[in-house]
Structure 1
């Protein structure tokens, strides 16, 4: 355990060195395009528009996380240790970006939020590797017999640690108050996104999580063209649909990192909605997806490969 923690702090210490390693392939194209758009927007005014500032903050987070992953590949040889740290970095990246997406949603609407989330989800699918930044995927593995409870808990703990650390990083960036939309946000009071009774909220998070997981599993078997974009569109659509009711987190680590301690919910209510609800939805997706009726609906009379 001590070597894992030591490697985590080591990777954070040298993250800026990793940024010196130039990205390649789709990553380079994506980053260059974003930088060009940001430069054009910045050239229109002496003060950067608020939406551009949010985009730049998100871009900075993507670059830092990508640099940290590159360092892991160089420094960490043990595959399990590397996975733990990859999960922590992925959770940090996810939560830090979604903190900024709150700013986008509050000031530019849910549509802008949805577009950012759609693009980010595609980016994460191509860059996270085996990391998921989501505890219930490991619960699914336990149910399927692919891992044990101890491993699932340990991985989830690293994910939660990465997500919680992201708040301090975001707080630092927001405290700079580069744009109007960041003013008084770094140390301001936060409020829960749950706008419905607790059990309704848990049902929304659970049902949407179940649908997301079924869609992801089906796409992984069908392997259609643009499957990543299709998966991203489905999950983003469900998030937007649930946005005004439960917040549409569908991820316990994300919900806790962004909303733990916010006014409007007790700890028990938070756990019931965002941990129990989402986790039960994920477990249900395993059994629903394997049900003969669902398999016939999805695959018809086609025999699945063993």
Structure 2
């Protein structure tokens, strides 16, 4: 009876495409995408658990915010390392779907953390943060970005599935496919538009704002995917692509740090401009 049930379950999973792959290359013959999904969920679960402990143990302070930024950055980068595997093996739209769902999750679970170095800079421009505190928050984000691969490398080195073979120790390739200045413009433009969309949705408090924001950001990433990679986040780009073959340090700095930061600063200036503020007042009046 038990054996019969096991065979039925096995046939069901095979029809679903979840098992049936070579057991010599994939643990228990499991579909490699299942393992990638499991690794992503593991990163989210560990981050959520750690975040909960931090919130219970620490009172509100700059140090607590630094720890939460470190956790959020590590969570973001760990998930996105696995998204590289998804994109390489199942294409841009599988990558986009995962990114869309993850972005919604992060918007609801990170609270004040951003895992993005230009966010403290925006706070400085908006008068809600001083330079020294912003520098410490950015340091926490960079530290989280730099240590992430050591965690990911442990998982990849186990080589449970064929899509992880040699990934733990192979040289990475840069995503920048255009001239450095063009790449900087792409990252600046995408960052500016994403930040403006986020500010607009937050200010108007429209229904399902986090879903709309996630969809817009995902589409912007897809649009830039074959040009600069569409990172729109210096810490994320540093974690995934700093030192990769095909980019110099200067190119990386100009495209992913200077480009994205300029885009972020421009979004603050545009959103605070008189015409935009007047337009926002009229929109909120209609909503109310």
Among 171, 175, 191, which residue is 1:193 paired with? 175
Secondary structure of 1:193's aligned partner: coil
Partner of 1:124: 106
- TM-superposed CA distance for 1:74, in Å, is 2.2
1:218 matches 2:200: yes
Partner of 2:97: 115
Counterparts of 2:57 and 2:274, CA distance in 1: 46
- TM-superposed CA distance for 1:292, in Å, is 2.6
Partner of 1:30: none
- TM-superposed CA distance for 1:164, in Å, is 1.2
What is the correspondence of 1:1-306 to structure 2 with a 5 Å cutoff? Answer: 44-45=19-20, 46-300=28-282
Q: Flag the structure with larger Rg.
A: 2
Secondary structure of 1:238's aligned partner: helix
Counterparts of 1:41 and 1:201, CA distance in 2: 41
TM-score, normalised by the number of residues in structure 2:
0.88
Q: Number of residues paired by the alignment?
A: 267
- TM-superposed CA distance for 1:75, in Å, is 2.0
Counterparts of 1:42 and 1:130, CA distance in 2: 39
TM-score, normalised by the number of residues in structure 1:
0.83
Counterparts of 1:259 and 1:203, CA distance in 2: 18
Relative to structure 1, is the Cα distance of residues 43 and 279 closer, same or farther in structure 2, using a 3 angstrom cutoff? Answer: closer
Structure 1, unaligned runs of 5 or more: 1-37
Secondary structure of 1:248's aligned partner: coil
Counterparts of 1:72 and 1:165, CA distance in 2: 19
Relative to structure 1, is the Cα distance of residues 275 and 301 closer, same or farther in structure 2, using a 3 angstrom cutoff? Answer: closer
- Tell me how large the CA RMSD over aligned residues is: 1.9
Structure 2, unaligned runs of 5 or more: 1-12, 21-27
Residues 18 and 31 in structure 2, CA contact (< 8 A), matched pair in contact too: no
